[in-house]
Amino acid sequence: MKFRLKDRDFSEHIRLSLLSVLIGLLAGLASVLFKFMIHFFQDLFWRKPNIIEAVFSQPRYLTLLIPVAGGLLIAPLIYYGAREAKGHGVPEIMESLIFRGGRIRNRVAIIKAIASSICIGSGGSTGREGPIVQISASIASSLGQLFHIKERAMRTLVAAGAGAGIGATFNAPIAGALFAVEVLLGEFGVYSFSPIIIASVIATLISRLITGDFAAFTVPKYSLSSVWEIGPYLLLGILSGLVAIVFIKVLYFLEDRFDNLRIHPLLKPALGGLIVGIIGLNLPQVFGVGYEGIDACLQNQLGFWMAFLLVLAKVLSTSMTLGSGGSGGIFAPSLFLGAMTGNLVGSFFHSAFPGSISSPGAFSLVGMGAVVAAATHAPITAIIIIFELTNDYKIILPLMLSCIIASFMTVGVHKESIYTMKLKRQGIIFKEGREEHILKSLSVKDFISHDYTLFNNTERVGKIIDQVIGSKHHSFQIVDAENNHIGCFALNQLKNLLKEKDIVDSFVIAQDLAVTDINLDFEDNLENAMNIFGQTDVAEIAVLQHGKFAGVVKRKDVIEAYNHEILKREAAAGLVQKLKFTTQTKSYDFGSGYKIMEMDAPHAFWNKSLKDLDLKALHHIDVLLIKRRFPPQTISIPSANEMIRKGDRLIIAGPEVNISEIISGKRE
Angstrom distance (rounded) from CA 15 to CA 17: 5
- Residue 4 has a pLDDT of 44
Topology, domain 2-211: Clc chloride channel (1.10.3080)
pLDDT of 527-569, one tens digit each?
888 888 877 778 889 999 888 899 999 888 887 777 666 666 5
CB 180 within 8 A of CB 186: no
Confidence check: pLDDT of 401 > 60: yes
Q: ω before 631 within 30° of 0 (cis)?
A: yes
CA–CA separation, 77 vs 425, rounded Å?
25
Please, which residues bridge with residue 199 across strands? none
Backbone angles phi, psi at 266, to 5 degrees: -70, -15
Measured distance CA(152)–CA(173) in Å, rounded: 23
Tell me how far CA of residue 337 lies from CA of 219, 310, 343, 524, in angstroms.
16, 8, 10, 42
Report the half-sphere exposure of 28 (CA within 13 A, side-chain side): 24
Q: Looking at residue 581, what is its pLDDT?
A: 46
Residue with the larger pLDDT of the pair 301 and 423: 301
Instruction: Spell out the long-range contacts of 553-556 with Cβ–Cβ below 8 A and sequence spacing 24 or more.
Output: 553/444, 553/447, 553/448, 553/449, 553/520, 553/526, 553/529, 554/449, 554/451
Q: Is the pLDDT of residue 329 over 80?
A: yes
- Residue 572: predicted pLDDT: 55
User: From CA 353, how far away is CA 348, in angstroms rounded?
Assistant: 9
Burial label for 60, CB within 10 Å (0-12, 13-18, 19+), is: exposed
Which 3 state secondary structure label does DSSP give 597?
strand
**Residue 315: pLDDT band with limits 50, 70, 90:** very high
pLDDT at 589: 62
Which contiguous run of DSSP H or E holds residue 479?
strand 475-479
Percentage of the chain lying above the pLDDT 90 cut: 20
pLDDT at 617 over 60: yes
Task: List where CATH 3.30.70.1450 sits in the chain.
Answer: 580-664
pLDDT tier at 236, thresholds 50, 70, 90: very high
pTM summary value:
0.69
- Look at residue 635 in the predicted model and tell me its pLDDT: 57
H or E element in which residue 574 lies: helix 555-579
How confident is the model at residue 458, as a pLDDT?
Answer: 86
Longest CA–CA span in the chain (Å) reads 99
What is the average pLDDT score of the chain?
81
The number of C-alpha atoms within 13 Å of 436 and in the hemisphere containing its C-beta is 14
Mean pLDDT is lowest, of 29-43, 206-220, 291-305, 532-546, for 206-220
Res 27 pLDDT > 60: yes
Amino acid 528: pLDDT: 83
Q: In this model, does residue 570 exceed pLDDT 60?
A: no
Q: Please check whether residue 334 is in contact with residue 372, taking contact to mean a CB–CB distance below 8 angstroms.
A: yes
State phi, psi for 109 to the nearest 5 degrees: -60, -45
Domain with CATH 1.10.3080.10 in the chain: 2-211, 227-432
Highest mean pLDDT among 90-94, 463-467, 484-488: 484-488
- The CATH number assigned to the domain with range 227-432 reads 1.10.3080.10
Work out the percent of the chain whose per-residue pLDDT is above 70.
Answer: 82
CATH class of the domain defined by 439-558: alpha beta
Residue 259 confidence (pLDDT)? 82
Single-letter amino acid code for the residue at 76? P
481-485, 522-526, 658-662: least confident range: 658-662
Across 510-539, b (16+ Cβ under 10 Å) vs e yields beebbeeebbbebebbbbbbbebbeeeebb
What is the arithmetic mean of pLDDT over 57-86? 87
- For the segment 48-70, the average pLDDT, to the nearest whole number, is 88
- If you average pLDDT over residues 431-443, what whole number do you get? 61
Q: What's the pLDDT score for residue 73?
A: 92
pLDDT of residue 231: 86
Q: Which amino acid is at 551?
A: G
Element (H, E) at 276: helix 268-282
Confidence at residue 567, expressed as pLDDT on a 0 to 100 scale:
60
Angle at 43 between CA 41 and CA 49, to 5 degrees: 125
Lowest mean pLDDT among 87-91, 238-242, 524-528, 549-553: 87-91
What does DSSP say about strands 587-591 and 594-600: parallel, antiparallel, or unpaired? antiparallel
- Domain covering 580-664 in this structure, CATH number: 3.30.70.1450
